[in-house]
A and B are shown apart, each in its own frame.
Chain A
Amino acid sequence: MKVPLKWLKEYVDINLPPAEIARRLTMAGTEVSLQSLGGESWRGVVIGEIVAVEVHPNADRLRLVTVNLGVEEQTVVCGAPNLTAGDKIAFASVGTELIDGYSGKKAILKPAKIRGVTSCGMVCSEKELGISDSHEGIMVLPPEAPPGKPLADFLAEIVLDLEVTPNRPDLLSVIGVAREVAALTNQPLTLPEVEYEEPGSPIEEQVSVTIVDPDLCPRYCASLINGIKIGESPEWLKQRLLACGMRPINNIVDATNYVMLEYGQPLHGFDFDRIKGGKISVRRATKDEAIVTLDDAERKLDSNTLVIADSERVVAIAGVMGGANSEVSERTTSILLESANFNPASIHYTSHGLRLVSEASIRFERSIRPELTEPALKRATQLIIELAGGEAAKGIIDVYPGKKEQKKIRLRAGEVERLLGVKFSTEQIKDTLISLGFKAEKTTGEAEFIITSPYWRSDISIEADLVEEVARVIGYDAIPMTMLSSSLPQQDPEPMLDFKKEVKQVLAGYGFQEIIGYSLTSREVLEKALACTPLEPPPIRLSNTMTVDQEYLRTSLRGNLLTALATNLRHEEGAIRLFELGRIYLPRNNDLPEEPEYLCGIMSSEIEKAWPNQPQYLDFFSVKGVVESLLAKPGVSAGFKESNDSGMYPGRQAAVVVDKDELGVVGELNPKVAEAFDISQPVYLFEIDLSKLLPHTIGYKLYKPIARFPAVMRDIALVVDAKVTHRQVLEIIKGFPLVEKITLFDVYTGKQVPAGKKSLAYRISFQSKEHTLTDKEVDKVQQQILDKLADKLGAVLRA
């Protein structure tokens, strides 16, 4: 909401600097920035008159516009379609600082050659001048604007630009802001005096209004003015509308817009001669009804839409926009002026359903009070008579089925203190509320009031609302700062948070960079990453998305990591190690999805070739080692077994198994998948379901005493069939007494062993808890081990 300071001063004395007014409003709940229209920011902008408009010789959509600038004429290229000769416009010459209509940033205007025609200067839109966000067309100035004069002399103004929160529709009005300023600066408020003659015949004889659906329309007021003359509005009115970012249209529309800005009550003027039967009915639309609105668009309606209809057809979408069929035109002589109140939820539903947001709908959907309709109607009627002549019919229509008794709220000074942590005197509380227009009655209770809120406030319904009113006007700075002093709550540990932190830190220690990717992805990326169609489980789809890239919730982290790897390989040499720890989303029937925490890491193939490191190539065991070390940290020992993941290289992958739970996969990425992401080198990947892993990391551990007697080391080298696994050997050796630790230190295939065989070399550590072992004892066990290995696996000692 833009409020010109000059206009505000009509209702409240302002004897503080504008910046201080802006600060107080901001602190009290409505952010205000000061805009200075004109002055320095419009240096170089002058008023011009369009002399001629021609089509650009090389571009049908562009125009060559010749502008009279008082002493000279200039021809510039212009893209706007709404210009005709005789229009007064704002002209910026080269060197002027303007706001770029597309980027919104300030830029110095330079000469430009557009399709072969040089353009020195520019005809400005409202956005380029910083008046409004409208960049649709050129700003057309009132005809009185004198060509050649600086625009600032004609339009300069200080404007308060308010960011009004959804609970304060009363601040979408100049009087509302004046009330707030009056309370915040301790100044009295002056409201416009409304008085006009009603020489016409009684309105009830000419118009009838029926509210068919009172649940959506609590009140409908209307006045009728006959014999008006449509014309342009006077200069002061146009300038005010412009300063507020609205375009002047004609005296009737301008008057209704002006009163909406002044009072916050939207009004609508119908051409009464086009209202069939002089009958207005406020009802829900029927299924097949449609209407062409003032913006020339045809709108299909449904039975949830509230409309204004005459005896034959829909003439307006209630509270959103009027219809073209009853629009005020140059030939209009009678105005039926509507000032009504509509159900906020209904207006919100309609305006969003039709994607039609208007100044009216913004106010109605924020809930304004029905009491406001009557004063605003009278004020607008007076203004129309003033601007367009005519005679008001006697009286007004006022159908008010939704009239309610004033709500009374109890306010205890103790409650103010309980919520704010500071004690204000009952006098201070009362005076503050009265300054905002509340009524405060003392009750029999001590330090207690019964409060009635003023008719312009729709946001006050409970005691806490009143506490906020008191606090924000006195100022939040008056509330002290204390630390929580209540007793510390019990806590139930959530181990996942700590576990995630630990996993991330360990991986960073291994040289992996953490990335965070979007949870939103496309079906295509998931299919590519998992090499799997159809996807199982199917990913969850969103019903509204900005782009197809973000239509689904991810069921795997692989897509993000592979995309990230491909992106980085374009500018990185050598090894890249990335990981992401985040959720995937798995659908469940009739419930929210499951959101397990997943960990995925990738390594690209090669350590950087740079002195002094030797290039190292990765293989299955590099990535398996990462997983083993990672799991060793929380004390989990994992098994690995052959797996069959379609995204991974067949035969170079393994499932990660902990206590029979399959928790993930590790190995080399399927080269087809890498290729689909434009990666040409081998990629190693691991993926672990942390939600499943977590329970295995928790549990009681028993301390194991440190051995008091020395260990005896023995090295054995075995020759076995190539198919015999390390795990098989390990299982056998582990089963013998005194074996404390087994370390594999060499795996060999080649010339020195027979074909189809391999050599495995182990260092076995023997130890006793009771005594120092003798060679004899160790020899005996070692022989038993070798016998059993020979028996079960055909292992022989390597010569």
Chain B
Amino acid sequence: MKKAIWILLFGAGIYLCLPCCSSCKQSAQPTPGKLQVVTTLFPLYDFARQIAGDKAEVSLLLPPGVESHSFEPRPGDIVRISKADVFIYTGPLMEPWSQDILKGITNKELTVINASANIQLANEEQQDHDHEAGECTHDHEHEHGGQDPHIWVDPILAQQIVSTIADGFAAKDPANKDYYLANAKTYNEKLAALDTQIRTTLEKCSKKTIVYGGHFAFGYFARRYGLEHLSPYAGFSPNAEPTPRKITEMIETLKKADTSYIYYEELLEPRVARIIAEGAGAKLLLLHGAHNISKQELDKGVTYLDIMGGNLERLKLGLGYQD
């Protein structure tokens, strides 16, 4: 028995060391002369690397697969932020931990970019106007005046984020100002094209309601393209349970709405969405909120445009696209 315990402890020790070593190597030595950029969420990471090109080294703070709302930085993350040249975050609403950490950082050279700086956040109340069952709430949103932090899902707001980041880079590294601004312009054109594509596609869709089995991150998106949404969740915490009444209401609405698809969110096991889908005889489709990506997606090199393109394809199915 004793022996077995030692073997287990030894095994666990090795096991714990392996990922540590590999992750240590990743963030090992910064290349001199390049801007060191640390971003929190995946969209910011993707935008920043599009803008920075080869002039900067951009890294994503969130480890792949981690649910972004429940993320808490570990000491190494704080060191990474304090050693960086530029730190980009979505805003105090999305990353409530960021404020305390930024106060504590003594690095005077660190440029902090608040991606939502130039964006008027929408109130949640505005967002869910007139549907009965669709109470889309975030725990932290209630704490922070009920505002929706998911600005990146709207391609128009995304362009503003890109511009904010590019301006920050230009201020930090004036020598490459034109390079950054040119990259941002090119990328914003792609985002504009995405917007047009979404607009024209959704125009050909007969249905206007997104039935969502997770915490609804698509408030800005829905408002931008005149869609409505339904979600059973009060609170996004994975441990929070929706009530049975909410689930049955969703099932009934789904049955009546003759929609045969329900969307689920990325990275969380879609237990509740699955139950609703099964009850209403609907199929499950992913609506990727792009907060963060999985390890698989990271390995594949997925981009924000890929994610949104994929979402659009799946929205076509769920919203009854007719050519």
**A and B part of one assembly:** no
